Amino acid sequence: MSRTGTTPTRRPTVSVPHWSLQVLAVFLAGRIVSTAILLLAAARQEASPWSGAAPGYGTFINYWDSGWYERIFTEGYPSELPRDEQGVVGHNQWAFYPVFPGLVRLLDLVTGLGWGILAPVVALAAAAGASLVVYRLFRLRADHRTALAGVAVVSFAPVAAILQVPYAESLHLLLLASSLHLVATQRYYRAMPVVVVMCLTRPAGVPFALMVGILFLHALWTARRSGTDPSGRQHAARQVLPLFLLGVVSSCAALAWPALAWLVTGRRDAYVATETAWRGEPLAPFRPWFEAPAALLGPGAAALLVAGLLIGVTALFLTPAVRSTGLVLGAWCAGYILYLAAFWDPQSSTWRILTPLFPLALAVVTARRGRLLWVVLPVSVALQFLWVDWLWGWTQSGPDGDYPP
């Protein structure tokens, strides 16, 4: 009772949805936008190698590498590599990792629903799970609103439509985010089996091993420099062995698929030869990043462009927003960028290949106290339409067809 004898008025409580429901609502909004963009692009689609003009949604999302995954689903992997008259290895299934089509195949054995239904469902379910894990990962470094905004950047990204088509990207995103969360919470032994499966979903073992190597060296350095802090030294020392073992597991997992391709086909370079079949030239680490712009702009301009790119990437990692993501996420992004610089051939698929750099979404919403979000989201939706319409949609742009997404 109050002094005046009246009962104080209580403010009505507002029920806030659980964080998982908020994350899934953001994810669902992103998928509605991507679906609308895919439908619009499908209506504009002319006849292609996969269908006639204006295909349905289910047909349209099964373009490009979806067909290779479906071929693995139905046929498996060849025991002999296809070759042309000169003995050069041609396009074949060994370029695509087995977990996604294998999971769809397993579900088909149980349900009998087929690729056309199960593959998009698996991709969408994995993407939904990934959004939840990405949120939990971001919460390690940010508050609820910032982490939720980071999920929004991922869900509406320029290539976010890839999360609901029959590609391995969404499943890989789920496994990658889970692995990073386990490492960031120092559950290194639990991370090992997740990392192995991840490395059989997409080629991420090399950059993940690079990240673990950075963390291992940091733990060693911390253990040796914490002479005045015994507890800190002991804590760092306890991380050295599990990080070393995780690095070994990551490195072995990175080699597992090339080794299996060698075992099945009898050719030691089966995986590399298959990958380079799409390039049309042997693997040459780092060189394509200079040769591609040099062919268009000349050697001098290409050198300036590459130097500017190196300076820009270095400056990016020195910004407070990126540094605020923490050592684990920063080391992953650095390792992945180094991996792309060494082994990726810059081309139209580069935008999709940047998806594993999703931790930078947290830096985007952290910069300028989150004000960038309201610029990034509409720009991302516009770029997503361009990506789907220009790259996912097929046009006869040359003698060999179109540029891949």
| Within a domain: 150 | yes
| Within a domain: 402 | no
| Within a domain: 404 | no
Chain-centroid distance of CA 241 in Å reads 28
How many helices (H) and strands (E) the chain has is answered by 18, 0
| Within a domain: 7 | no
In this prediction, residue 1 carries a pLDDT of 46
Contact 223, 237 (CB under 8 A): yes
| Within a domain: 399 | no
Query: If DSSP codes are grouped into helix, strand and coil, which group holds residue 71?
Result: helix
| Within a domain: 4 | no
In this prediction, residue 226 carries a pLDDT of 65
| Within a domain: 403 | no
Q: How far apart are CA 142 and CA 158, in angstroms?
A: 23
Contact 105, 73 (CB under 8 A): yes
| Within a domain: 149 | yes
pLDDT, block means (10 residues), the chain with 405 residues: 54 78 98 98 95 96 97 97 90 97 98 97 98 98 96 98 98 98 97 98 97 95 72 73 97 98 96 91 86 86 90 93 96 97 92 97 88 91 97 80 84
Closest C-alpha among 63, 57, 51, 64 to residue 34? 57
Q: At what angle do helices 65-75 and 115-139 cross, to 10 degrees?
A: 120
In this prediction, residue 400 carries a pLDDT of 62
Contact 104, 118 (CB under 8 A): yes
The answer to whether the predicted template modeling score (pTM) of the entire model surpasses 0.75 is yes
Domain interval for residue 229 = 19-392
Give the number of domains in the chain: 1
In this prediction, residue 291 carries a pLDDT of 86
